[in-house]
């Protein structure tokens, strides 16, 4: 898969932590020409950009970005294109929040914020990068959803809804832009041990590492997969999501998750 990334320019939102950071490191190790970390967390961004720039001098740029703000994303993409010599070959819309809250406690403001961060963040990125990709004759946009888009889980209604919306957006755009050589893939990264689980008391034991997830993502992207599903568990969930024969089993499984979560357990 090296040739797909060699000398290419990539932008990764949420690039200062977890899966995004692992993607940045792997892209650089595969010979990417320039990698832009776009993240809201200034402290992590500074530290990780400095670390990666030390290992790959001149190839790394950190840009503080709030994906919930259209102007922030547009300005980040403009700076990234300048850093990339006018190109952006890959945009990873990876920034996201887990948004755990009982539905009863969610407000309209919560829902608006949920869509701002997990859905509009990606939409703003797509809008901003399309002219760059068009002018260079193509590119690849990877939108990170979640297995939860296929197996929606209790106490995460906002996460389930925003990620399902992102799957719909990505699938539709894949064919709208195919003939312009601008590729779209949905990423289902697996259950991954990252700081996103901190508030839930840590990742489940079954979690894979960010590096394993990043490898699966970049492999699937190089193969231009429509939906890149990194783990077998998520693949099974996606296959069973709408299969009538699996309906009863899915109900049992998801009900069990709901009951355990209500008892405060971290289960997926
Ligand atoms: N870890 C998992 O098990 C898992 C499973 C399925 C999907 N995902 C998805 O993978 C993506 C990456 O998650 P992760 O597990 O690496 O989490 P993480 O918390 O380690 O990283 C997410 C990054 O996004 C950044 N971010 C948050 N809000 C932002 C904003 N408004 N603007 C810019 N950056 C912002 C954070 O600062 C953080 O650096 C997310 O979209 C998440 O929903 C993760």
- For position 77, which CATH number holds? 3.40.50.720
Ligand 1: residue of 12, 13, 14 to mutate (most ligand atoms within 8 A of CB) is: 14
Q: Is residue 72 part of a domain?
A: yes
Q: Is residue 211 part of a domain?
A: yes
pTM of the model: 0.98
User: What pLDDT is recorded for position 131?
Assistant: 98
Domain range enclosing 171: 2-238
Which residue CA neighbors atom 7 of ligand 1 most closely?
Answer: 146
State residue 181 phi and psi, 5-degree precision. Answer: 65, 25
String of DSSP letters for 21-89: HHHHHHHHHTT-SEEEEEES-HHHHHHHHHHHHHHSTTSEEEEE--TT-HHHHHHHHHHHHHHTTT---
User: What pLDDT is recorded for position 39?
Assistant: 98
Report strand pairing: 90-93 vs 9-13.
parallel
User: What pLDDT is recorded for position 245?
Assistant: 97
Element (H, E) at 233: helix 232-241
Alpha carbon of 246 to ligand 1 centroid (Å): 30
User: What pLDDT is recorded for position 198?
Assistant: 93
Q: Is residue 243 part of a domain?
A: no
Outline where 84-198 has alpha helix (H): 108-115, 121-136, 157-176
- pLDDT < 70: residue spans in the chain: none
User: What pLDDT is recorded for position 199?
Assistant: 87
Q: Is residue 253 part of a domain?
A: no
User: What pLDDT is recorded for position 266?
Assistant: 85
The residues annotated with a catalytic role in the active site are 159
Q: Is residue 266 part of a domain?
A: no
Q: Is residue 23 part of a domain?
A: yes
User: What pLDDT is recorded for position 70?
Assistant: 98
Residues lining ligand 1, Cβ inside 6 A: 13-14, 16-20, 39-41, 44, 65-68, 94-97, 117, 144, 146, 189, 191-192, 194-196
Q: Is residue 247 part of a domain?
A: no
pLDDT in tens, 182-234: 999 999 999 999 999 998 889 999 999 999 999 999 999 999 999 999 999 99
Alpha carbon of 196 to ligand 1 centroid (Å): 6
Ligand 1 atom with the shortest distance to the CA of 21: 16
Total number of domains constituting the chain? 1
């Amino acid at each position: 898969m090296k040739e797909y990334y060699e000398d290419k320019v990539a932008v990764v939102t949420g690039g200062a932590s977890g899966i995004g950071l692992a993607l940045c490191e792997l892209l650089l190790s595969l010979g990417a020409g320039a990698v832009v970390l776009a993240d809201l967390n200034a402290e992590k961004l500074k530290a990780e950009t400095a670390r990666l720039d030390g290992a790959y001098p001149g190839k790394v740029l950190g840009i503080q970005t709030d994906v919930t703000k259209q102007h922030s994303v547009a300005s980040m993409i403009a700076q990234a294109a300048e850093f990339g010599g006018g190109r952006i070959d890959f945009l990873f819309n990876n920034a996201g929040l887990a948004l755990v809250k009982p539905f009863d406690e969610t407000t309209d403001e919560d829902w608006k914020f949920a869509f701002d961060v997990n859905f509009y963040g990606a939409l703003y990125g797509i809008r901003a990068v399309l002219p760059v990709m068009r002018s260079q004759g193509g590119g690849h946009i990877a939108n990170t959803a979640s297995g939860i888009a296929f197996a929606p889980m209790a106490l995460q209604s906002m996460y389930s809804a925003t990620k399902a919306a992102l799957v719909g957006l990505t699938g539709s755009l894949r064919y709208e832009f195919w003939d312009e050589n601008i590729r779209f893939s949905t990423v289902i990264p697996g259950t991954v041990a990252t700081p996103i689980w901190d508030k839930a008391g840590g990742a489940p034991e079954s979690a894979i590492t960010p590096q394993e997830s990043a490898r699966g993502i970049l492999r699937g992207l190089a193969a231009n997969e429509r939906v890149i599903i990194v783990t077998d568990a998520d693949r099974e969930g996606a296959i069973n999501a709408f299969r009538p024969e699996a309906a009863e089993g899915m109900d049992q499984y998801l009900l069990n998750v709901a009951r355990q979560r209500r008892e405060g357990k971290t289960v997926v």
